[in-house]
Structure 1
Amino acid sequence: MNTRFPTVLAASLAILLVGSLPAAVAKPKSKPTCAKKGSKTVLASRDARAYTAKRSVNGSPSKRLYGCWKATGRRVALADAFDDGYTTSATFSDVRLAGRYVAWYGTATDVSCKASCPPDYVATKSRVNSWDLRRRKRVRSADATVTSPGLVLTERAGLAWVEGSGPSSQVRAADSSGTRVLDTGAIAPASLRAEISIVSWVRDGVERFARLR
């Protein structure tokens, strides 16, 4: 009886099996993430994250605001907060998230012209802004002076905010129709709310509503 045949056959099969294995097992692709070492979350939702990270501007410590779309892990730099202690500074506040949109209130001051500044020069400019994090582009930006915490963001990137105080307060809005005044009177900034495309606020004890486009 030939006992070598099974041994040779087994060895041949082993060689064939080894030869059929892939050269290296492919590593699974890492999932997109909005996590960043050293960052601090400002707001987060199921879809997006807004966070800050420390950095330096011309040797001065500063803080940068980022928005990140979780489905892709792609981030966008939105605003900076710094003070060079000399001629320029910037701030951001009142950060909001709604769906794929992020909004914030920002100010920028530049007095580098010093004594040569024209009489009508405005050193500090302030604006409200909204960005589409999924498409990574600005949606709206409007001149504003927000009375905190009176800034809200709708799920269509519409903005509404409170300016001023007392009986001359205003609720203003910026949406696809442009910028406009929604109401004037004794409005509490903290009463301003947004739900889907509707904003609401309280004036003289009565709740009022407006739809943003």
Structure 2
Amino acid sequence: MKTTAALLITAALGFSAPAMAAGFAHQQDISYAGQTLKVADTSARLLGNAQGNAPELVADINDGLGKTKTPGYKIQIMSRSYSLAADARPAREGQGWSNNRAIHRGVKLLIGIPVSNGQADLANAKLLGLALISDAAVPDTFKAEDKIRPRGKQLVTKEAKISRPTLQLTELQLPDFAGGERSGGGVKLHAAAQVDGKPLNVTVNSTFREFEVAKPDAARGFGADARVVK
């Protein structure tokens, strides 16, 4: 725990992270309402500074929604895959398909990591928001002339009720993004919540297939959700 926290702080200070074997697996287990959402990989998007070379230390990870201000870092963890319907048709020569990079199935977790006395506190990391897309109701066939690929449904709408959010973040390692790495590192976590009264469970033990850094002026999706922050 101390080692992985040190890696996060090392990145924040702009130094190169020490080379280590983190021992991450390739596990992305997601279930909602008793049904498994099969996903392919896990990626991450870190809220970084204006230069994009270090994590951004925000004054309050809760965005004013908590009882007290908690300084720290924010990161999005995304376990996802493309719909079978989306994968069913190759691009036509000279035309291509719309929504080529649209995510059709998976979960996104917005996580806040408190910082106290210059140390990242992974044990007290908080779930700040979530998104959940399912393509269970999307047919796996469509006509050849259809140019818009079927998309999954966002289950965490503005009207959705979210309760009993929990998070255990046990390990987090960032790639050397200041040095240009955009994959690697990894995460081990378990998250759960009730979405419209139905249980969502997420267990991830995986390297990051893709790693991105969002600058403060393009921090879309990093705002805390009042339904999740307690």
More strand by share: 1
Question: Would you say same fold, with TM above 0.5?
Answer: no
Using the size of structure 2 for normalisation, the TM-score is 0.26
Larger Rg: 1
Using the size of structure 1 for normalisation, the TM-score is 0.27
Q: Which has the higher contact order (CA 8 A, sep 6+)?
A: 2
